[in-house]
Structure 1
Amino acid sequence: MYLIKFINLILVTLIFSSCVSSKKFNKMKNEMQQNYDALSGKSQKLDVDLKSCNDKNNELIQTNTSLQDENTNLKKHMDMLKENNTTMLKQLEGLSVLTSTQAASIQQSLENIGQKDIYIQDLQKEMARKDSLNMALVMNLKGAVGNLDDKDINIKVDKGVVFIDISDKLLFTSGKYDIRSEAKTVLGKVAAVLKAQPHIEFMVEGHTDNVKYNKPPLVDNWDLSVKRATAVVRVLQKQYGLDPTHIIAAGRSEYTPLQSNDTPEGRATNRRTRIVILPELDQFFKLLEPKQQ
């Protein structure tokens, strides 16, 4: 359109160039040049605007394509959710049927759990009773033994078991297994408490340090620990009348130390005789037997 106007201006100029003066002609020429320049500027601006519009149009096309893809993905996701929802509904329907058909079994299971709770409570009561008896036994033993050096005799409860540890310094001469006469008094006091509980069974354990031992007829610490245990058992049986059917003699040698054998003090602690009051397993196993209906 601008080009047509420009051509018309040229024609008008040619027509009037022969009729007007040179001055007027130059003036008209300048005006035409200015008009041309203005039109050229507008044309360039229009080209720039056109390019910008094209770029925006391409951007809008890409955005539209992206939105369409996103919409497609959302539709697929919704379809998947619908499918999952349908599956879950079917599973819930099946669960409802399963629960109704097994209600009697579940009820029986609950009743069994209740019975087990009662059983556990009975066990806990029995264990509490046993702990009380053990503590009473410990107090009786400590009262009977009297004021002895704690390093020579130690009476305690550990994990529901009563232990009486007597140092070999009190019981035996070093390297020997004959009981000292003064030690028999201590064993007599312990025996008096044990004899008052005729149902009690106990084990006498001999323990040594790790110093090598070889004095014929004994060949090692195993022999020494056993001989010391049997020596204590004979005194308890023959001099103080404890039932031998309730006694066990055992040698543990050097293999269950209380302290490290690297120091003289530690070795002295490890050389000991231990009396272990055995749990009443027969009474415990009675609790495990099914009760008569």
Structure 2
Amino acid sequence: MKRTILTLTLAALTLTSCGSKKKIAELEAKNKEIQDMLNSATLKLNTCLAEKDQMASRIQDLKSRETDLINTRDQITTLSSQGAQNLEKTLESLKEKDLKINRLQDALTRKDSVTLALVSSIKRAVGVNDPDIEVNVEKGVVYISIADKLLFKSGRYEVTDRAKEILGKVAAIVKDKPDFECMVEGHTDNVPINNPVLQDNWDLSVKRATSIVRILQQDYGIDPKRLVAAGRGEYVPLEANTTAEGRARNRRTRILVLPKIDQFYDMIEKEMKGQSK
């Protein structure tokens, strides 16, 4: 009986020992599996943490760029606003200048129209068909060029009767244009002159001019304030003084009929003021 009990006891112990080893093996396998999963999870976690840091840095960089872009946009907006204002001011200034230029051109056009009309009336009055009398426009100024032989004797400055007739026609035109001045220019050739009265061609050209001015004032009633006497001597020739014909062309008197400069600029100033209203 005792032997039977011992045998059963040993058998039970043997069975119990085999079951424990199997359980331990299963647990160790399960532990390894769990450890592998933990290692994998740890690796993924570290990867995610690294990506998180990168994303945080990226977000910070984007925020910084966004701030820079906002600042740049604000600066551009400010500059664009200022540029638009400056451009508008510039355009307004250009428009004003264009208006002023147009007004000035209109004034000059009217002046040219008056000048051309004056040329026509003078030509009709003095008889432009005479080859010794020229009526023309030079730099916007009407001038009448009268040959020396129609006005004076050689080397003299007393006006001939024929000259007074011509000057009477010129005076009528000048009197009809009260806003114009009349300048008389004497011109000579280069042949020297020297006598008790005349020292040189300067003297001769000036005295011829003053002789004509006196006739316009005294005989025809031209306001002396509108008259100018000038002598150019031999220094503005039309042709070379090497021939008799050339010297004859150079001996002349020019009568310039021109608008008063101060009144002309007053007219322009009035035009400018008118366009600014």
- The residue number in structure 1 matching 2:177 is 197
Please list the CA deviations of residues 39-67 of structure 1 after superposition, one character each: whole Å capped at 9, or x if unmatched: xxxxxxxxxxxxxxxxxxxxxxxxxxxxx
SS in 1 for 2:192: coil
Alignment-mate amino acid for residue 85 of structure 2: A
Counterpart of 1:262 in structure 2: which amino acid?
Answer: T
1:121 aligns with 2:133: no
**Which of 79, 84, 88 is the matching residue for 1:103?**
84
Q: Does 1:180 align with 2:160?
A: yes
For 1:156, give the aligned amino acid.
N
Matching of residues 1-293 of structure 1 within 5 Å: 98-146=79-127, 148-150=129-131, 152-286=132-266, 287-288=268-269, 291=273, 293=277
CA offsets 1:250-287 (integer angstroms, 9 cap, x no match): 11111111111111111111111111123332233232
Q: Residue in 2 aligned with 1:73?
A: none
Q: CA RMSD in A?
A: 2.2
Once residues 236 and 216 of structure 1 are traced to their aligned partners in structure 2, the CA distance between those partners, rounded to angstroms, is: 27
Alpha-carbon distance in structure 2 between the residues aligned to 1:139 and 1:282: 25
One-letter amino acid matched to 2:229: A
Q: What CA distance in whole angstroms lies between the structure 1 residues aligned with 2:126 and 2:257?
A: 16
Gaps of at least 5 residues in structure 2 are: 1-73
| 1:215 positional shift | 1.7
Structure 1 stretches of at least 4 aligned residues deviating more than 4 Å after TM superposition: 93-97
Q: Tell me which amino acid in the other structure corresponds to 1:141.
A: I
**RCO higher in 1 or 2 (8 Å CA, sep ≥ 6)?**
2
Percent of paired sites with the same residue: 54
Report the Cα distance in structure 1 between the residues aligned to 2:216 and 2:88, rounded to whole angstroms. Answer: 57
Q: Deviations over 1:99-158 (max 9, x none)?
A: 4323212211110110111111111111111111111111111111125422x1100012
Letter in 1 for 2:135: I
After TM superposition, give the deviation of residue 160 of structure 1 in Å: 0.9
Residue 102 of structure 1 aligns to a residue in which SS?
Answer: helix
Q: Report the TM-score when normalising by structure 1.
A: 0.64
- How much has 1:207 moved relative to structure 2? 0.6
Q: Which whole-Å CA distance do the structure 2 matches of 1:233 and 1:190 have between them?
A: 12
Instruction: Encode CA deviations 1:175-226: one digit per residue, 9 max, x unaligned.
Output: 0000111111011011111111112112101111111111221100000000
Q: Which amino acid aligns with 1:124?
A: Q
Q: Provide TM-score, normalisation by structure 2.
A: 0.68
2-structure distance, mates of 1:206, 1:193: 20
Instruction: From the superposition, tell whether residues 94 and 223 of structure 1 become closer, same or farther in structure 2 (CA, over 3 Å).
Output: farther
Cross-structure match for 1:27: none
Cα 1:284–1:200 change in 2 (3 A) is closer
Q: Computing the radius of gyration over CA atoms, which structure comes out larger, 1 or 2?
A: 2
- How many residues of Structure 1 are paired with residues of Structure 2 in the alignment? 202
